[in-house]
Amino acid sequence: MISTLLTVFGKAVTAFFIKMIMSLATEKFIKWMFFYVGEQIVKSTNTDKDDLFLAKIKEAYEDNERSSVDIK
């Protein structure tokens, strides 16, 4: 019974935080969070391959950001 309550509580807390993050979720915030988490993961490893991978992702994102045209 306690495990069921903890499961329900955990799901409720998770849903609350997801809704809170989504309310803050501007494109700039999502970009910052994505690259921040990526950098933290890269820093936690001892290999250089993931550093290169993250750099390529950033480069591709920035190239796409520069080349996209905002038509309204």
Structural domain contains residue 60: yes
What local confidence, expressed as pLDDT, does residue 26 receive?
A: 79
Structural domain contains residue 36: yes
- Take residue 44 and report the two structure tokens written for it: 């936690």
CB 37 within 8 A of CB 14: no
What local confidence, expressed as pLDDT, does residue 37 receive?
A: 93
**Mean predicted confidence (pLDDT) in 11-25:** 85
Structural domain contains residue 59: yes
Q: What is the DSSP string of 5-54?
A: HHHHHHHHHHHHHHHHHHHH--HHHHHHHHHHHHHHHHHTSS-SHHHHHH
Q: How far is CA 64 from the centre of its chain?
A: 18
Structural domain contains residue 8: no
For residues 71 and 57, which has the higher predicted lDDT (pLDDT)?
Answer: 57
Question: Residue 31's domain spans which residues?
Answer: 25-72
Q: How many domains does the chain have?
A: 1
pLDDT tens-digit profile of 22-69? 787 777 888 888 999 999 999 998 988 999 999 999 999 988 888 866
Structural domain contains residue 13: no
Structural domain contains residue 48: yes
Structural domain contains residue 39: yes
| Lowest-confidence segment of 3-12, 13-22, 41-50, 61-70 by average pLDDT | 61-70
Structural domain contains residue 51: yes
- Take residue 19 and report the two structure tokens written for it: 């809704």
